[in-house]
Structure 1
Amino acid sequence: MAAENNGGEIKLTVGEEKVTTADVTKGEELDLQHRDPEHLHDHVKIQFHDVFGEPDETVFSFDFIWKLAFKLFTNVKLWCYRITSLICGLPLAICWGIYFALLSFCAIWCCEPYMKAYAIELGCIRRLFNTCLNAFCRPCFEVMGYCFYNIRIQKA
């Protein structure tokens, strides 16, 4: 196994197979302006006016307090998020990457084969159940259908 870094792209050789980071991301580029294209987090888009509002024109704070509160809220929210993501973002990205890799592994190598085997095993029971339904229930329902077949309801 060998690795080399050429211009920001990491090349990894395992045996005879050569893999680069571009192969993994398939050339997908990040949009740094629109970071939530799937709208996963619309419920946490909180602005100052979503939290604070003075209900009446007769009861309100000084304008400079209101403006300062707006600036403080907005900047503290931004910088707390940035500092927290700086400290925790990369370790959590690694943890979630491992988690989803293991989840994918389990779905591909454990769950799906198990469900396929389970469906095969239940095939015998399904045939037996269908045979019983066709032998006992279907004739009864067909007779009921023939009994009510010619009933017509008309509005007067």
Structure 2
Amino acid sequence: FFNVIAEPDTSAYNFAVLHEVSEKVYQYSKLGIYRLLAVLIGLPLMLCWGIIFGAYTFFMIWIVAPSRRLSQSLIAECGIHIQTISDAVVAPLYRSFGQVFSSVRINLLNQTVETTKTIQV
């Protein structure tokens, strides 16, 4: 009240009684409007938020968490099969490619090549 509505200059006060009454009117009207809006709007909003968070909790406990556990076990099982297939097929293939190309030898030589330009007429 003092920062918003009251007189900013100490020399410009109203009557003391009027100042006290205006402060009390401000405080009680603020409190009354808050309580009225809390009853009219706050209670229905709390009902909505309760329904939303209740539904969220229900879905997390009964749908999301079991689905996540099921998908994790399926992914782990698929990983075992993929690892087995990789060990049986892909690893020997790459091992044989490695043995085939292990005998390849590359020699790099430094040679200077001199070219002469000839003009043919």
Same-fold status (TM-score > 0.5): no
Larger Rg: 2
- Structure with higher helix content: 2
TM bucket normalised to smaller: 0.3 to 0.5
- Structure with higher strand content: 1
Q: Using CA pairs below 8 Å that are at least 6 residues apart, which structure has the higher relative contact order?
A: 2
TM normalised by structure 1 equals 0.37
